[in-house]
A and B are shown apart, each in its own frame.
Chain A
Amino acid sequence: MVDLVASLPDARALRSAASGPSGPKPRHALSRRNIFLYGTLILVAVYYLLPLYVMVVTSLKGMPEIRLGHIFSPPLEITFEPWVKAWSSACTGLNCDGLSRGFWNSVRITVPSVILSIAIASVNGYALANWRFKGADTFFVILIVGAFIPYQVMIYPIVIILREIGLYGSLTGLVIVHSIFGMPILTLLFRNYFSSMPEELFRAARVDGAGFWGIYLRIMLPMSLPIFVVAVILQVTGIWNDFLFGVVYTRPDTYPMTVQLNNIVNSVQGVKEYNVNMAATILTGLVPLVVYFVSGKLFVRGIAAGAVKG
């Protein structure tokens, strides 16, 4: 693996600046180094794009064409029927109203979960950054350590808690679960962000007589919109993509989209309709993909913020 790097002959072009590429361009566009470099990158890019391409292509073919086995060839005859079927009439068990049910369930889960988890975590982060009380850091450390505990250790006690308060199996219960497990990373995110804001700002507001909530709502909130956007991106993709909590804490008629998708594709009954399956798979992946492609660098910032400890 090392010789990949070793075979890059032009060391001069390696002047990687701390802030990204900014120096002069390499002079020869078709140098051996460039052919190797771009060749490798393009090959890898093709590999990464292939599954997406195959998904799209398969979902636009009819079943007879799929049985020919040319998985990589574009459709001879484009049909949107699989998409319609996946959305509105694919069957899971007895329900035959397609993925649309799962889609709307996921919307009804994701929207309140994102709002609630961010509301709680931002206030947590704000309290930890600006209003420390005795013991606050202990809870914060527990929270961060808790982020590493496998969910499997905590799912059953939560089942019991939700059952006791009558929320087991309801969407509200799942929203609470998402807020709980989103808390460590989001609290860390907000705590670090609020800690980096100038202290004078906070002091000035205190002198002017603003309290805990006043400073939060009128100063911190408006000044930290970027971090809220990062948090929204992080949470929308994370909650939309969740499978485990969905399958544990909801009932079949309130299953989120991922669970329903898995049930449709991996159902053992009937003839496998690969085109419908792939259409359903794209439909489920569409929301996070759109979020990803629209948000661009903010998505990267979100995962970096989530990954790098502060």
Chain B
Amino acid sequence: MSKSERPTRLFRNLNAKVASIPMILTALVVFVGGTAWTVLYSFTNSKLLPRMSFVGLDQYYRLWATPRWLISIENLLIYGVISLVFSLVIGFLLAALLDQKIRFEDVFRTVFLYPFALSFIVTGLVWQWLLNPDFGVQRVVRDLGWTSFAFDPLYNSSIVIYGISIAALWQGTGLVMCLMLAGLRGIDEDIWKAARVDGIPTWKTYLFVIIPMMRPVFITTLVIIAAGIVKVYDLVVAQTSGGPGIASEVPAKYVYDYMFFAQNLGQGFAASTMMLLSVVIVIVPWAYLEFGGRKRG
């Protein structure tokens, strides 16, 4: 961008290069090197310590034969679909409501976004308490007279992942709303005027004009949510510790437990490589759509 100093550029830029050493080290050693290292060692039978004895795809066969991993993947899929669909829909609806020239917009926005400032640990623990069957929502409804009412998602292995999703949505929809609101505010007012002149109903304008126009916002939001979904870990640890049994395990927790508790590094590396693969599957098409054909920089 600024090529103001051509003659002394090489010498002057020495400072910039020295200053960029932390960035270069992070990019090359940690991001590229670390990732390559983990992928490489996922083909070894490392146990307590990393060992360079290759066993081909053994770790991956073992991984996909482990019930706990299969449950983790299933949970991640359910959690992912729920997170994506509901946070996009609710986030957009809230943003659309806030965009109606209402009073106290700042107050509402502050309220919807505050959970996002809290950690997943705090979020998980609050919802663990609210969903406690003995003292929480279930008890309150039963005390009101509906004695057969059952709502104990955290203690029921078939629906526990939905209980976790409730907490995640509470924490994360505010962010989506904020992004969507920024997108709605970026729409030219003339579009609305034109739609009104043509007598198009509001909901149709939203559905067929505004949302297609907000495609970049939706895609960015989608990528952000998706990247967060794969990383989900603290929330599960706080809310259920993976229980009841192994019903709410997720891949990130599998990786951590195998690396630091089960002393089975190879499994941990293979599982984390699978996580990386799932991100690549999401990111590459997006990067291709976003930057494909366009020059970088």
A, B from the same assembly: yes
B175 within 8 A of A: yes
The interface bits of chain B over 78-94 (1 if a CB of A lies within 8 angstroms of the residue's CB, else 0) are 00000000000100011
8 Å CB contact of B100 from A8, A142, A288, A293: A8
Contact B27 A142 (CB under 8 A): yes
Contact A261 B125 (CB under 8 A): yes
Query: CB-CB < 8 A to A123: which residues of B?
Result: 19-20
Query: CB-CB < 8 A to A219: which residues of B?
Result: none
Query: CB-CB < 8 A to B279: which residues of A?
Result: 148-150
Q: How large is the interface on A (under 10, 10 to 19, 20 to 34, 35 or more residues)?
A: 35 or more
> Which segment of B53-61, B63-71, B112-120 sits at the interface?
B112-120
> Which segment of A33-41, A79-87, A92-100, A223-231 sits at the interface?
A33-41
Query: CB-CB < 8 A to A17: which residues of B?
Result: 185, 189
Cα A202 to Cα B1 in complex, Å, equals: 12
Contact A15 B125 (CB under 8 A): no
Q: Which of B120-138 contact A (CB under 8 A)?
A: 120-122, 125-130, 132, 134-137
> In the complex, what residue of chain B is closest to A146 when comparing beta carbons?
B31
Contact B233 A244 (CB under 8 A): yes
Contact B99 A16 (CB under 8 A): yes
Cα A17 to Cα B215 in complex, Å, equals: 19
Contact B184 A129 (CB under 8 A): no
Query: CB-CB < 8 A to A44: which residues of B?
Result: 94, 112
Query: CB-CB < 8 A to B130: which residues of A?
Result: 50-51, 54, 71
- Min distance, Cβ B131 to any Cβ of chain A, angstroms: 10
Secondary structure of the A side of the interface?
helix
Query: CB-CB < 8 A to A152: which residues of B?
Result: 231, 251-252, 255-256, 268, 271-272, 275
Cα A213 to Cα B241 in complex, Å, equals: 49
8 Å CB contact of A15 from B108, B175, B192: B192
A109 within 8 A of B: no
Query: CB-CB < 8 A to A149: which residues of B?
Result: 31, 35, 276, 279
8 Å CB contact of A131 from B13, B105, B221, B276: B13
Give the A-binding residues of B (Cβ under 8 A). 1-5, 12-13, 15-17, 19-20, 22-24, 26-35, 37-39, 50, 89, 93-94, 96-102, 105-106, 108-122, 125-130, 132, 134-137, 139-140, 143, 170, 174-175, 178-179, 182, 184-189, 192-193, 196, 201-203, 205-207, 220-221, 224, 227, 230-231, 233-234, 237-238, 241, 251-252, 255-256, 259-260, 265, 268-269, 271-273, 275-276, 279, 283, 290, 296-297
User: Which A-B residue pairs are the 9 nearest by beta carbons?
Assistant: A241-B119, A146-B31, A6-B203, A212-B15, A131-B16, A157-B34, A292-B117, A21-B101, A142-B27
Give the B-binding residues of A (Cβ under 8 A). 1-6, 8, 11-21, 23, 25-26, 37-38, 40-41, 44-45, 47-52, 54-55, 58, 66-67, 69-72, 120, 123-124, 126-127, 129-133, 136-137, 139-143, 145-146, 148-158, 160-161, 179-180, 183, 187, 195, 199, 202-203, 206, 211-213, 237, 240-244, 247-248, 258, 261-262, 265-266, 274, 277-278, 281, 284-285, 288-289, 291-293, 296, 299-300, 303-304, 307-309
